[in-house]
Amino acid sequence: MFKKSLFFAVALVSMTGVAEARDQIKIVGSSTVYPFSTVVAEQFGKTTSFKTPVVESTGSGGGLKLFCAGIGVKHPDITNASRRIKKKEVERCEKNGITDIVEVKVGYDGIVVANSKKSEMFKLTRKDLFLALAKDIPAGEGKLQPNPHKTWKDVNSSLPAVKIEVLGPPPTSGTRDAFAELALEGGCKKFKWIKAMKKGDKALGIKKDKKAYKRLCHTVREDGAYIEAGENDNMIISKLEANPKALGIFGYSFLDQNADKVQGSTIGGNAPTFENIADGSYPVSRPLYFYVKKAHIGVIPGIEEYMQEFAAEKTSGPDGYLGDKGLISMGDVERARRKEIVMNLGNLKLN
Amino acid sequence: MTEMTFQMPDLPKGLAKRHKAEKRFRLMALASVLLGLIFLAVLFINVLTSGADAIRQSKVRLDINLQINDFGGSKGPDIQQLKNANYQGIIKRTIYKNFPEVKSRRDKRGLYRLVSSGAAYELREFVLDDPSKIGTSISIWLPASDDVDMIMKGKVSRTASSDVRRLSDQQMEWLEKLEAEGNLETKFNWTLFSSGDSREPELAGVAAAMVGSLYSIIVCLIISFPLGVMAALYLESFAPKNRFTSFIEVNINNLAAVPSIVFGLLGLAVFLNFFELPRSAPLVGGMVLSLMTMPTIIIAGRVAIQGVPPSIKEAALAEGASPVQAVFHHVLPLAMPGVLTGTIIGTARALGETAPLLMIGMVAFVVDVPKSILDPATALPVQVYLWSDMPEKGFAERTSAAILVLLAFVGLMNLTAVLLRKKFEIRW
């Protein structure tokens, strides 16, 4: 039996032939960039003579892992990321022979903290968010206590006396990472002695302890106030509708499309609007990227043209079609720099 | 006799209690069946009501004048000119003509936004299909944008604020004018069944996913059916009963209970990384799914073979048939209805599987309908999963529609199983 099945498997494999040449771009990576990347892929497929690229949603980390696995038709050509590539990942790429990578910044994505329109809009600060959602919060200088806050009023007396209930993505999500980094850490840094931990401060007599700093600022409480609601943002929105007291964390594009059901809280006095995210006054926004394997350009047809389509003004410029999908475009200077990178295929430089 | 009369006084009391227990049990069983049915009905009605809207799509009628100049001027344009003509420009020109009062660039853009960005490609398809129409005027229904569609279907209130509607007051005015003139209607949504995935809800369809599912299932059957049936036959009719075969038996039973994602990981490690088969291909999808269905087929097959009376095989052997002949000529044909039922039920389960496909790259945005088992493809449940996570409201109803298509597929397969059993079943 075993022999037979082995024979069958071998026959099948030899029949189909080992991976042949590919004439279609393969894209993997972030689920946040996926809705934008697919729009461009579709446009690209319709307006050029190239095939429509295949876009997989694997998450930023998963995408970079596949991307860095090697050069050749069986590896993806492009990976999307909702954060910048890490040094470790660049090294992994180099180890597998991928030394030339082009980094293209797509634009920005705001992360919103929203609630149902049936309730009053929240006016939050990053410090409020940190004090409401961190696992441990400061109790005086240099001391910590497990987060005791039960209602938003406990956090900040100007907020309503509503139980803290926040629906958000699980730890595997890039949105969660970005939220922790931008919102929680942003609020955490407001405490001087915590901020001092990052770099060390002799005057305050605080030693440098980056690890402890990160642990303190990025760890989300696990006592039920933060509810992991899965990666599906539509589900978070329908849960907010059912529970008007809860807040939810998701990407700006979902707020944009569901403005009839949910409203974004202001953070530090700035509402999550297209303009505020674009000019940076709304603090919780992150850049989105895609990375291109230079060795595949010229081997797989259409990669350069795809990059140009993505970087074109009609795509990701201020009035581009990605704007309709909720992408926040970059400023003039950044767009000019990107254009140059796409034209000259400039190599990625991590500083 | 005497003993019975001795027990009589006690009996009625016990009997009443037993009757009560019997009644209670029956009621509870009935209640659980009803509860199950209610859950099913709620689920089904929910999906059906939200999916029904996707069957229709708002379309705008445009009377387009296809001028010869649009296609390079000459009377017989070549195919390249037909492909590259400025269809977007033609549509814009036509709409602006209907609304001569719209002058500013900004307003014109707002007006054009009422029509789907895919309208230009549909017009291109139309012209490529029938180039003789060039130089004439045509009346064609083109898809409206998803924001218009949501308003037309009443998913978004017409009186909501412009932020919520995603259409300005002026755009609403144009929309109502088009509607009043009979140039904006909801029509049957063929696109849903004829095209692949798209990021515009009004252009998205399940065709690529359907074909991908079909290819995967065919590959899955080609591999798992013969292997599963042979394994069942061998284990039931030929294998010696020893430690080794009982070890295999235990393993097959365990295999049937392995979470499907594990098979995906196996597929990634073996088929993609070792055999270097293409990613996202239905071939690999089918191979992974066949790993999943094989244990089901073996178990169902063995039960079916056990159900064939041994006298049949013995009679064949007595007539001088070799063991292989006895099994293939007599036992297997009689066991076939049961084997087929098991196979179809196993395959129907595989049809609804997404987790193993995630690992081998079939959870992807695929626009082109796959032409072979090596082309990138998705599957129906994957399409459901992908659409459910899209921000645009139009995808919510399409998600339900895709679920309905998937349910129809699964229902059809189960129906086949029932019919096969009815037709070929032999009661001993």
pLDDT in tens, B308-345: 999 999 999 999 999 999 999 999 989 988 898 889 88
DSSP helix/strand/coil, B190: coil
Mean pLDDT for chain A?
Answer: 85
Is the distance from CB of B380 to CB of B217 less than 8 angstroms? Answer: no
pLDDT attached to residue B40: 93
Distance in Å, alpha carbon of A47 to nearest chain B alpha carbon: 9
Residue B338 shares a structural domain with residue B385: yes
Q: Would an 8 Å CB–CB cutoff place A343 in contact with chain B?
A: no
Residue B107 shares a structural domain with residue B61: yes
Q: What are phi and psi of A37, to 5 degrees?
A: -60, -40
Residue of A nearest to B385 (CA): A232
Residues A108-124, buried b or exposed e (16+ Cβ, 10 A)?
Answer: bbbbbbbbbbebeebeb
Residue A98 shares a structural domain with residue A52: yes
Contact B391 A234 (CB under 8 A): yes
Q: Residue A249 forms beta bridges with which residues?
A: A113
Q: Would an 8 Å CB–CB cutoff place A69 in contact with chain B?
A: no
Q: Considering only CB atoms, which chain A residues are within 8 Å of B390?
A: 35, 234
CA A185/CA A193 separation, integer angstroms: 13
Residue A67 shares a structural domain with residue A148: no
In this structure, are strands A247-251 and A166-168 parallel, antiparallel, or unpaired?
parallel
pLDDT attached to residue A19: 45
Contact A74 B276 (CB under 8 A): yes
pLDDT attached to residue B37: 96
DSSP helix/strand/coil, B387: helix
Domain for residue A350, yes or no?
no
A18 → closest Cβ in B230, B276, B368: B276
Provide the residue range defining the domain that includes B133: 57-189
CA B159/CA B293 separation, integer angstroms: 53
Domain for residue A259, yes or no?
yes
Distance in Å, alpha carbon of B227 to nearest chain A alpha carbon: 7
Q: Residue B60 forms beta bridges with which residues?
A: B142, B184
Tell me: pLDDT of A345 over 60. yes
A232 → closest Cβ in B164, B198, B388: B388
Instruction: List, as ranges, residues 76-135 from A with C-beta within 8 Å of B.
Output: none
Distance in Å, alpha carbon of B155 to nearest chain A alpha carbon: 11
DSSP helix/strand/coil, A78: strand
CA A246/CA A238 separation, integer angstroms: 11
Q: Residue A114's closest CA among A275, A274, A238, A276?
A: A238
Contact A257 B391 (CB under 8 A): yes
Tell me: pLDDT of A223 over 80. yes
Residue B292 shares a structural domain with residue B330: yes
Is the distance from CB of A306 to CB of A40 less than 8 angstroms? Answer: yes
Report the number of distinct structural domains present in chain A.
2
Q: What are phi and psi of B59, to 5 degrees?
A: -130, 150
The alpha carbon of residue B319 and the mean position of all alpha carbons in its chain are separated, in whole angstroms, by 50
pLDDT band at A177 (very low <50, low <70, confident <90, very high): confident
Q: Residue B294's closest CA among B342, B361, B261?
A: B342
Residue A82 shares a structural domain with residue A123: no
Distance in Å, alpha carbon of B370 to nearest chain A alpha carbon: 12
Distance in Å, alpha carbon of A126 to nearest chain B alpha carbon: 26
Domain for residue A210, yes or no?
yes
Q: Give the number of other CB atoms < 10 A from CB of residue A208.
A: 13
Q: How many helices (H) and strands (E) does chain B have?
A: 20, 4
pLDDT attached to residue A17: 46
Tell me: pLDDT of A211 over 90. no
Contact B389 A46 (CB under 8 A): no
User: What one-character-per-residue DSSP string does A197-264 give?
Assistant: HHH-BTTTTB---HHHHHHHHHPBP-SSSEEE--S-HHHHHHHHHH-TT-EEEEEHHHHHHTTTTEEE
CATH of the domain at A256: 3.40.190.10
Domain for residue B195, yes or no?
no
Which distant-in-sequence residues (6+ apart) come within 8 Å of B95 by Cβ?
Answer: B62, B111, B112, B114, B115
The alpha carbon of residue B152 and the mean position of all alpha carbons in its chain are separated, in whole angstroms, by 27
Residue A222 shares a structural domain with residue A154: yes
In this structure, are strands A247-251 and A101-116 parallel, antiparallel, or unpaired?
antiparallel
Domain for residue A243, yes or no?
yes
Residue of A nearest to B155 (CA): A260
CA B116/CA B101 separation, integer angstroms: 22
CA B181/CA B63 separation, integer angstroms: 13
pLDDT band at A1 (very low <50, low <70, confident <90, very high): very low
CA A283/CA A263 separation, integer angstroms: 17
Q: Considering only CB atoms, which chain A residues are within 8 Å of B164?
A: 259-260
Residue B152 shares a structural domain with residue B216: no
Chain A with chain B: Cβ pairs closer than 8 A: 105
pLDDT attached to residue B341: 87
Domain for residue B232, yes or no?
yes
Is the distance from CB of A85 to CB of A60 less than 8 angstroms? Answer: no
Residue B367 shares a structural domain with residue B401: yes
Last residue of one domain, picked from the residues B189, B215, B247: B189
Domain for residue B9, yes or no?
no
In this structure, are strands A101-116 and A285-293 parallel, antiparallel, or unpaired?
antiparallel
Q: Residue B185's closest CA among B138, B154, B125, B143?
A: B143
Is the distance from CB of A311 to CB of A338 less than 8 angstroms? Answer: yes
Which distant-in-sequence residues (6+ apart) come within 8 Å of B34 by Cβ?
Answer: none
Q: Residue B115 forms beta bridges with which residues?
A: B144
Is the distance from CB of A223 to CB of A145 less than 8 angstroms? Answer: no
Which distant-in-sequence residues (6+ apart) come within 8 Å of A108 by Cβ?
Answer: A277, A278, A285, A286, A287, A288, A327, A328, A329, A330
Q: Residue B139 forms beta bridges with which residues?
A: B63
Domain for residue B70, yes or no?
yes
Residue A78 shares a structural domain with residue A176: no
- What dihedral angle (degrees, nearest 10) is formed by the CA atoms of A38, A40, A45, A49? -150
Q: Would an 8 Å CB–CB cutoff place B368 in contact with chain A?
A: yes
B199 → closest Cβ in A19, A39, A256: A39
Which distant-in-sequence residues (6+ apart) come within 8 Å of B36 by Cβ?
Answer: none
pLDDT attached to residue B378: 92
Q: Residue A56's closest CA among B201, B354, B285, B378?
A: B378
Distance in Å, alpha carbon of B163 to nearest chain A alpha carbon: 7
Q: Write the burial class of residue B135 (CB in 10 Å: 0-12 exposed, 13-18 middle, 19+ buried).
A: middle
Contact B368 A31 (CB under 8 A): no
Residue B180 shares a structural domain with residue B320: no
Mutation target among B161, B365, B366, B375 for the A interface, most CBs of A within 10 A: B365
Domain for residue B200, yes or no?
no
Instruction: State which H helix or E strand residue B150 sits in.
Output: helix B146-152
Domain for residue B49, yes or no?
no
Domain for residue A291, yes or no?
yes
A259 → closest Cβ in B164, B199, B361: B164
- High-pLDDT (> 90) share of chain A, %: 28
Residue B258 shares a structural domain with residue B158: no
CA of A351: how far to CAs of A82, A84, A85, A86, A87, in Å? 18, 12, 11, 11, 9
Residue A232 shares a structural domain with residue A101: no
Q: Considering only CB atoms, which chain A residues are within 8 Å of B272?
A: 74
Provide the residue range defining the domain that includes A252: 110-285
Residue A57 shares a structural domain with residue A176: no
Residue A145 shares a structural domain with residue A280: yes
Q: What are phi and psi of A319, to 5 degrees?
A: -110, 20
Last residue of one domain, picked from the residues B189, B217, B245: B189
Q: Considering only CB atoms, which chain B residues are within 8 Å of A253?
A: 391
Last residue of one domain, picked from the residues A234, A258, A285: A285
CA A172/CA A289 separation, integer angstroms: 18
pLDDT attached to residue A11: 52
A51 → closest Cβ in B368, B390, B391: B368
Is the distance from CB of A262 to CB of A244 less than 8 angstroms? Answer: no
Domain for residue A12, yes or no?
no
Taking CA B336 as the corner, what is the angle to CA B303 and CA B292, rounded to the nearest 5 degrees? Answer: 65
Report the number of distinct structural domains present in chain B.
2
Dihedral sign for Cα atoms in the order B356, B362, B365, B366: negative
CA B62/CA B103 separation, integer angstroms: 19
Tell me the average pLDDT across A183-196: 85
Contact B391 A326 (CB under 8 A): yes
DSSP helix/strand/coil, B253: helix
Q: Considering only CB atoms, which chain A residues are within 8 Å of B199?
A: 35, 38-39, 42, 325
A251-266 per-position pLDDT tens digit: 888 888 888 889 999 9
Residue of A nearest to B395 (CA): A234
Residue of B nearest to A33 (CA): B390
Residue A247 shares a structural domain with residue A137: yes
CA B420/CA B427 separation, integer angstroms: 14
Residue B246 shares a structural domain with residue B137: no
Residue B116 shares a structural domain with residue B217: no
Tell me the average pLDDT across A48-77: 89
Contact A56 B280 (CB under 8 A): yes
Residue of B nearest to A36 (CA): B199
Domain for residue A13, yes or no?
no
CA B59/CA B128 separation, integer angstroms: 21
Domain for residue B33, yes or no?
no
Tell me the angle at which helices B119-129 and B87-98 cross, rounded to the nearest 10 degrees: 110
Mutation target among B225, B390, B393, B399 for the A interface, most CBs of A within 10 A: B390
Mutation target among B392, B395, B398 for the A interface, most CBs of A within 10 A: B392
The answer to ipTM > 0.85 is: no
Tell me the average pLDDT across A6-34: 68
CA of B389: how far to CAs of A161, B146, B196, B230, in Å? 33, 17, 17, 42
Distance in Å, alpha carbon of B142 to nearest chain A alpha carbon: 17
Distance in Å, alpha carbon of A127 to nearest chain B alpha carbon: 29
CATH of the domain at B322: 1.10.3720.10
Instruction: List, as ranges, residues 242-281 from A with C-beta within 8 Å of B.
Output: 251, 253-254, 256-260
Q: Residue B198's closest CA among A162, A149, A60, A42?
A: A42
Residue A143 shares a structural domain with residue A252: yes
pLDDT attached to residue B390: 86
Q: Residue A283's closest CA among A306, A295, A267?
A: A267
Residue A126 shares a structural domain with residue A176: yes
Residue B172 shares a structural domain with residue B249: no
Tell me the average pLDDT across A165-186: 85
Residue B257 shares a structural domain with residue B365: yes
pLDDT attached to residue B160: 81
pLDDT attached to residue A286: 86
Tokens of A84: 């910048």
Residue A280 shares a structural domain with residue A299: no
Is the distance from CB of B348 to CB of B264 less than 8 angstroms? Answer: no
CA A72/CA A260 separation, integer angstroms: 47
- What dihedral angle (degrees, nearest 10) is formed by the CA atoms of B242, B245, B246, B251? 160
CA A177/CA A111 separation, integer angstroms: 11
Residue B319 shares a structural domain with residue B239: yes
User: In a structure prediction context, what are the per-residue pLDDT tens digits for chain B, which is 428 residues long?
Assistant: 455 555 555 556 788 888 999 999 999 999 999 999 999 999 999 999 888 888 889 999 989 888 887 777 655 567 777 777 788 888 888 888 888 888 888 888 888 889 998 888 888 888 888 888 888 888 899 999 988 999 888 888 888 887 778 888 888 888 888 989 888 988 898 889 998 899 889 999 999 999 999 999 999 999 999 999 999 999 988 888 889 888 988 999 898 888 888 998 999 899 988 888 888 899 999 999 999 999 999 999 999 999 999 999 999 999 999 999 999 999 998 998 889 888 988 998 899 888 899 888 898 999 889 998 988 999 999 999 999 888 888 898 999 999 999 999 899 988 988 888 888 877 76
pLDDT attached to residue A60: 85
Domain for residue A260, yes or no?
yes
Domain for residue B199, yes or no?
no
Q: Considering only CB atoms, which chain B residues are within 8 Å of A24?
A: 376
